[in-house]
Homo-oligomer: A and B are copies of this chain.
Amino acid sequence: MKKIITQVGEKLRANEYKLTPQRQIILEVMLENKDKHLSAEDVYILVKRKAPDIGLATVYRTLELFLEHEIVHSVNFGDGRKRYEYGDSTEGHHHHHAICLRCGKILEINEDLLEELEKQVSKDYGFTVLDHELKIFGHCSECK
């Protein structure tokens, strides 16, 4: 994990940004909560435990910064808040989400069977595909 923090620091510095203690702590929290789809507020609460003086605005600003630098990516489950997850969505190891409409549980789907569809779309619409996001709605094994 130390290594990742150093890498991120370099990535930011290469773009004239600084790796402040606050940013480092937010990064740690994101790393400790992979696959958790944290909202800005969630991150704020977790970060507060390590650094009580941090401000909510800093969390928002940092997450947006990380988003631009593809350190995190975001998903929107339609519940009125943006959620963030560690990892670059353009690196190809993006997963999809299956959302249970009864219990609200979110499963990670790690298969990527969309290549065919992407090819089709670039052919038919002249669209260069950079990323995709798939949400599947239904009932999980426990709820049906």
Which of A36-44, A48-56, A120-128 participates in binding chain B?
A120-128
Please give me the residue from chain B that is nearest to A140 by CB atom: B127
17 contacts between A and B (CB under 8 A): A74-B78, A78-B82, A80-B82, A100-B127, A107-B125, A107-B127, A111-B120, A113-B117, A126-B141, A127-B136, A127-B139, A129-B137, A131-B136, A132-B135, A132-B136, A134-B134, A134-B135
Please give me the residue from chain B that is nearest to A134 by CB atom: B134
**Residues in B neighbouring A100, C-beta threshold 8 A:** 127
Any B CB within 8 A of the CB of A64: no
Considering only residues 82-140 of chain A, those with a C-beta below 8 Å from chain B are 82, 98, 100-101, 107, 109, 111, 113-114, 116-118, 120-121, 124-140
Size class of the A contact interface (CB-based, 8 Å): 35 or more
**Residues in B neighbouring A132, C-beta threshold 8 A:** 134-137
Complex copy number for this chain = 2
